Amino acid sequence: MPYSWNCSRNMDLERWSLKLLGIAVFVLAVWGLSGTPAQAQQNGWRLCNKTSYIINAAVARPEGQAVVVEGWTKLRPGTCETALSAPLTPGVHFIYGQSSDAHRGGGRDWGGDRELCVDPTGSFSVESPPDCGEFGLDARNFRPVLIERRTSWQTTFTETNQYTTAQAEAAGVQRLLEDAGVFSGRVDGLLGRETRAAIREFLNSQGLAADTSDTDLIDFLEQSAIERAREVGFTLCNRTDYPIWGAVARMRGDEWESRGWWRLEASGCARVIDRPLNQRQYFVYGEMEQGDGRVRTLKRASEPFCVSRAKFAIAGREECESAAYRTALFTETAVPEDQKLVFEFFERDFDRARDAPGG
């Protein structure tokens, strides 16, 4: 059975690198979080976004023997928002962040290994139950943050590129312009001539004023990118009552490539390719979790590709075991129509339960 991943759902093989500074500050080397005392006037737990992505964040706080989870706090690039008001309760809290659906290349997570429940459909405040699915909630992996002050604390989301606040906002605009199909330059946090021209083009195309605020610009770009993303790409959907781990395979250049994993909750979907589908052949693989350490795999699957226990992007489909992978049998999808494809997993598509591969 595939492992869940902590820091990123995108197709890049990015991993968390955790370094403990003293006892209070966690720093993540690839997709990062850092925690510090906030300025005195910034009461409560402040979340800051120094990445080029719009992040929707959820936080969790101890309350007696329980853990209360609250979300979502929208963090535009280069901004800070208060997630919890003072007074804070010193001790271990938890945080999780996910990128907006507007961003191409697959979703990204900022998290850890503490599983807590969230409501993916909108704002929420819940006492996290032991079984998320029983209450119509989804599980997400949160990272611990040690808060030491009652009045103020600050946690900052970062990425590989170390942006200043102003650079993060500029890079966020560039990324959203690219997501919306207006801009194809570098996402570098520098508002050069090409970026400014792209902003003017977008504002004109939407009938927006030239003096539109930065906040409104980002919100308009986000909505435009989300609408564009719905028009093309490859989506996997789970039409069963059990979680499914999905993977896909296709030709990339001159060789085959397989990628995974996407965790599909019961009745959930995930966009696995967010670009126009220009090929005729695509393949999928799925493992359905039964909750007893056993899985069910697809029936009538006959196309071998390589998969890994952790998140993967593997070039080639032969001699998987010699490269420390394993071979799994994929099934071919229908031919995409209008550069778009939706593949649905139904319970009838799966074989009988068996022990997890490699377990």
How high is the pLDDT of residue 193?
Answer: 93
Same domain flag for 184 and 255: no
Whether 140 contacts 108, CB under 8 Å? no
Q: Tokens 């804070």 label which residue? A: 88
Same domain flag for 24 and 153: yes
Residue 2: is the preceding peptide bond cis (ω within 30°)?
no
Domain final residue pick, 143, 158, 173: 158
Same domain flag for 184 and 140: no
How high is the pLDDT of residue 272?
Answer: 86
Same domain flag for 191 and 266: no
**How confident is the model over 171-197, as pLDDT tens digits?**
999 999 999 989 888 999 998 999 999
Same domain flag for 211 and 243: no
Residue 6 forms part of a structural domain: no
Number of domains within the chain = 3
Interior CA angle at 3 toward 16 and 32, to 5°?
15
Same domain flag for 297 and 340: yes
**The tokens of 273 are what?**
């390719």
Domain that holds residue 131: 18-158
Residue 10 forms part of a structural domain: no
Gap between the Cα atoms of 95 and 155, Å rounded:
9
Same domain flag for 275 and 328: yes
Same domain flag for 132 and 189: no
How high is the pLDDT of residue 42?
Answer: 60
Whether 83 contacts 107, CB under 8 Å? no
Residue 101 forms part of a structural domain: yes
Domain final residue pick, 142, 158, 174: 158
How high is the pLDDT of residue 232?
Answer: 76
Same domain flag for 91 and 186: no
Residue 238 forms part of a structural domain: yes
- The stretches in the chain having pLDDT less than 50 are 1-31, 359
Q: Tokens 């550069």 label which residue? A: 339
Same domain flag for 103 and 216: no
Domain final residue pick, 158, 177, 203: 158
Same domain flag for 105 and 56: yes
Residue 13 forms part of a structural domain: no
Q: What is the pTM of this model?
A: 0.66
Residue 291 forms part of a structural domain: yes
Same domain flag for 219 and 241: no
Residue 95 forms part of a structural domain: yes
